[in-house]
Every structure is written in structure tokens, then in C-alpha cells.
Amino acid sequence: MAEATQTTQRPNARVDVSRALTQIMRHGRTLEWIRGNRSQWLATALHQELLFGTLRHYSSLQALVGSHLKKPLKPRDLDIMHVMLVGAYQLNHTQIAEHAAINECVTASKALGKAWAKGLINAVLRSIQRQSLSESAQVSDPRGEHPDWMADLLTNQYGDAATQLMAANNQRAPMTLRINPCVISTADYKAQLKAAAINFTEGPWPEALTLEQPQPAADLPGWHGGACAVQDLGAQCASQIMMQLLTDHATGDGALRLLDACAAPGGKLFHLKERLTVAGIAHRLYALDNKANRLEDLARIGRRLGHRTEEYHDQHSENTNHQDDGQEDSVTLSCADAGESPLPFNEAFDAILIDAPCTGSGTIRRNPDIRLLLSPQALLQQPPQQQRLLQNLWQHVKPGGTLVYSTCSVFAEENDQVIQSFLVKNKDAHVVPLHLSLGHPTRHGLQLLPTNTLTDGFFYCALSKAPSTVSVS
């Protein structure tokens, strides 16, 4: 149950949440789109609680409200349905005062230009209110919040464990921090959290701390000075894996050349840079993303963390032998499609990280809209794109180098099956066993799940490229 939240804020949060839900369900907008284009709909903690909570329980709330309607609403009145879903969520899943929840929902109808619905909203919500919690909320089957095709696919892949996975998808995700060792030691930062009365648990490596209660990021100690970043523990595994794989390479001459091929928003990129810097490993980091605005956000995040970025200016047309002279203390950025050759960087890389675009099915706790918007057809569209990225980037890995493939998906179609297809086509690629305290091994990699690692659902696979051989006559 959520803590009681002030309900007298203006503008009426139920209006904003209804509009956000309608954008999602009618127009296929995502939470990411809302964050970028209608951030006022997420303006307060109450907005966020109502929107994310209603999305998590959308199917069961829809069934509940529908059972109290004498006849279905017209499609044009989807916003009114959403006001009632929000109201039902408040009554059955929060500690917001029932009378306030109902009154604010009734008032919302006028703000939406549909004052005629006041009586309907009041009648439906008071009918739900009169029921006992056990009758109205019901202890819902976690499968019931998932579309049938998704529930069947998860059951086929995970067996009995699928029920626990789907139940985890209905929960709030924890808030995990990554301490920036280039700014502050973990010991000093833990002391600052304790002084601020912010409780936490320690993670499997020193810079990972999970907060017992989420906090506004900007209010965290040292946030504006780059002392920490918010990053799921599963996402932090990327740098752990990269550092394990780079240990042998680091004994060679010169700086390691490393590429984050799908870099935005930059969490994995900057975590790796911090680890390399602290370890004293000479390196040059390069980053690609196919959207300029995302790279701008990445650079802004880097500045807060104390990391310098610089744009890459292609000079290949003037000098085909040009080698980038990016500085070791900066990250070189370029806006380009990593699935297309040639890459803007005239480099062969010691290691490449592909945080591949995917369905995001492992992040449903954070993005409950995925469960409502994702379709089997959309899932099938992902593997060809992922194969394209793998195939193009593989040719830019040095002989003896490494490529790490990652998704935030729990579907084998985007994970092991993609790797298997790639291995069939590329005989110089070999799977490298991964050794982490988190996750369970799959055929080719490592799968993390919210049920047993308290992380988002991540998949990792490491591939080594066979060293080149020279025949001697």
C-alpha cells in the first residue's frame, strides 16, 4: 500500500493521468514519450503513483470498473473510463482517503469537458467503495495482468518460474545507486546517506547501493556534484563483465580502444569509464547513438558526473588513413547507426558493447506500458535488427578482441536465439563464459530476472574473436 499522499494539489492529478493513459491506450504513446513531451503529467509524486499504479493493474482495474457499468462507454469517452480506473486504483491499492479519491475523480470530469459524467463516476466508484477489499480488488492472478500471448510465451520459456516472474512484473522496482568513485569513495558516500537518514542495502560490488525507499534523485547527497547516478543493478553488470574481459587486453601496449555502440542514455558507458579510470587502465572510449537528442542528453549526464565528451568529426574523405586523436580523458561521440557500415570511427576496437534495442520486456516493473503496448508482431521485428547490429559491429572487433551483447529482455527470441544465429554465420566467434554472482546461465550467456536477482531482466553474452593467423611456408 502506498503512503497517503496529499490530494488537494492543483492541477487535478487525475486529469493529467487520464490524459496520459488515453495517449498510451488510444495512440500507442509510451511512457518515454510522455516523459519527453508531456512531463507535466508526471509533475508530482502523486501523478507518478497514480499513473504507474494504474498501468500496473490496468487489466484487473478495467474488469473491475466494467463490472459496475450498466453498459459500456463509447470509445470517445476513454478518458472517462481512465478517470474511473484511477479512482478504482486509489480505492483498492493506496491509502488515499476514499472520499477525497472519489471527489477528485468526479471533479476531473468537468476539467475534461465532460461534466455529464460526474454522476456516472460517482456512482461507479461508490459502488466499488461499498465492496470489501477482498471482493473488489481480489488477489489478482499475476498472469491476468499480462496479455495471453506474453503469459504463454513466458510459461513456455520459464515453466513454473513464469508465475513468479509475472508477479514480480506487478511490483515496484527498487532504486539502486551507482557511486562515482572518481568523485567520492563508497565509504564517504554511505556516511552521507546515513547522515541524511536515507537507509540502504549494499550490493554485490562496492559502488552499488539499493535504497530502502525511493528518493527524488536531485535530493540525494552529492547529486549535483556527480557523486552518484541512478542505475539498476542489472545494468551495472555491463561494466563488471567488460572489466573482467579487459584484464588480459590491458597488459598490451597503448590505450585500449572501446566502443559503446548503442550508448544513450550513457549509464553503462560512464560506469565503465569510472571503473577503467580507477583501475588505472589506459583507454579511449567511443560512443554511438542514432539520435542526436539522445547524445545531447548523454553529454549532459556526463558533465554532471564530471566526464568530458567531444564530438567526432569525420575526416575519412580527406585522409583515408586518418586515425581519431580523441583524448583519453574524454568520450568521443558520434551520431550514427551502428548497424550500418562503415562506422564513423576509423578504428578497430579491443572491445565493443552492444546494448541492443529490444522489447524492454525485462523492465516492465519500471515501464508497465510495455505490457499493454507490446505485440507478438513487435517482438518478431526485434531479432533482425539485433542480428544486423551484431553482424556489422563484429567486423570492427580486433582479432583477439571481445564483443558483449546485452538486452533488457527476458525473451529467448532476443537473446540466446539471436546469438545462436550469429554463431552459425560467424565461425571466428566463440562464447566466453561469464562469471557473476548474479543471474543464471543460459545456452550462450547469462540471464538476470527480477525474481532471483532483484534486478531488471537483463541478458548478457560475451563473444571473443579468434586471433588472426599467418601461414608460414
- Residues recognised as catalytic: 408
Of 102, 169, 108, which Cα lies nearest the Cα of 140? Answer: 169
Q: How far apart are CA 175 and CA 268, in angstroms?
A: 16
**CA–CA distance, 408 with 410 (Å, rounded to integer):** 7
Cell of 216: 527524488
- Across 169-197, b (16+ Cβ under 10 Å) vs e yields bbeebbbbbbbbbbbbebeebbeebeeee
Letter for the amino acid at 304?
Answer: R
Round to whole Å and give the CA distance between 294 and 401: 28
Q: Which three cell numbers stand for residue 456?
A: 531488471
Q: What is the rounded distance in angstroms from the CA atom of residue 22 to the CA atom of residue 26?
A: 5
Whether 88 contacts 61, CB under 8 Å: yes
SS3 204: coil
Question: How is residue 131 annotated by DSSP?
Answer: S
3-state secondary structure of 67: coil
Burial of 45 (0-12, 13-18, 19+ CB in 10 A): middle
Q: Please name the residues in contact with 331: beta carbons below 8 A apart, sequence gap of 6 or more.
A: 269, 270, 273, 285, 286, 287, 302, 307, 308, 309, 310
CA distance 116 to 57: 27
Tell me how far apart the alpha carbons of residues 402 and 399 are, in angstroms, rounded to a whole number. 9
C-alpha cell at 373: 503496448
Which one-letter DSSP state was computed for residue 94?
B
DSSP track, 339-361: TSSSPSS---EEEEEEE-----G
Please give the span between the terminal C-alpha atoms of the chain, in angstroms, as a whole number: 75
- Interhelix angle 13-27/78-93, rounded to 10 degrees, is 120
Q: Which residues contact 307 (CB under 8 A, 6 or more apart)?
A: 270, 273, 330, 331
Residue recorded with cell 469537458? 113
